[in-house]
A and B are shown apart, each in its own frame.
Chain A
Amino acid sequence: MKEDDELFFIQGKTALHTNGHTGNIPWLNNAMPTNAVWIHPETAGKSGIKNGDKIELSNKYGKQIGEALLTEGIRKDTVFAYFGFGHVSKGLKRAYGKGVNSGSLLPHFTSPVVGMNLHTSGVKVRKA
């Protein structure tokens, strides 16, 4: 799932928005317009990434540019970003293009029995 030079990429849902549906709603968009990429300060230091830097997450499924949030609330071998951002519909004027589209970095296969798709992948992280 993950190469040696990659970090685990995990996601989650923010309590403020409802999945991707509410991204364009004015009051909610004002409170949380975008998502940042959580990265441990030690891991970030190794790549010369400081808090707020533009970073690029990439793997064979996709490439996303996001803002780094240095926090001890994430494992050193993992990065995290909320779902529901990085909207690609230009009509969502308040939400379009803001943040990381977490789904685009996930594998495309589904599990044989239940049909669930995998929500973890490996990503290369570098300063953008």
Chain B
Amino acid sequence: MPKKYGMIHDDNLCIGCQACSIACRAENRVPESVYRLQVHIKGPEQLPNGTLKYTYHRQSCVQCENTPCVSVCPTKASHKDENGIVSVDVDLCVGCLYCVAACPYQARYVDPVTKAPGKCDFCKETRLGRGEEPACVTVCPTDALIFGDLNDPKSALNKVLSTKVTMRNKESLGTNPKLFIVPNRRGGIES
């Protein structure tokens, strides 16, 4: 059975240290001035119970199952593989940047060297092939990221999905993203 790779980002554990962003840059040789992954720290906002909380938003590709970026590509450069990872074939790309505009999560950047769009590909070209988890997951100091196979009922990913409340961004658009977020609903210094 093919794999269906997904990821969980736990907003309660994330501290916004950007270690994931730096590790991604190092592992995938992301060019200067562009980012495959950032953590945006938003807040503080006040919750109904009077406490304050910050939101740690993982700004990166969410690996949609129903991919707008693939459907708009005129050359099939933007494609999804059998494991559900979306990536760009630079040799087929003509640089129309339609995919950059089509992505509802603003996950794509324009590579200043190849001029083709780039994005997070769950370290498909670097670490996944070696049997390792993506760089961001490995380096996270608080274990806020969990990676795994959604098709494997015994995976650590599915275990957390069945025990914790999760949500996904922009679900109403029908993109069916594979990045799940454990939201921080508590606030205050105890959270």
Interface residues of A (CB under 8 A from B): 15-16, 27-28, 30-32, 71-73
Contact = CB atoms under 8 A, between A and B. Distances in A.
Contact of B22 (A28, A71, A73): A28
Contacts of B52: 72-73
Q: Is the interface of B mostly helix, strand, loop or mixed?
A: mixed
Contacts of A15: 15-18
A72 B46 contact: yes
Q: Interface extent on B, as a size class?
A: 10 to 19
Contacts, number: 24
Interface in B21-68: 21-22, 25, 32, 43-44, 46, 52, 54
A16 B25 CA distance: 15
Interface of B: 15-18, 21-22, 25, 32, 43-44, 46, 52, 54
Contacts of A72: 44, 46, 52
A72 B32 CA distance: 34
Contacts of B32: 30
Contact of B18 (A31, A71, A73): A31
B17 A27 contact: no
B22 A27 contact: yes
B40 to A, nearest CB: 12
B158 to A, nearest CB: 29
Contact of B44 (A16, A31, A73): A73
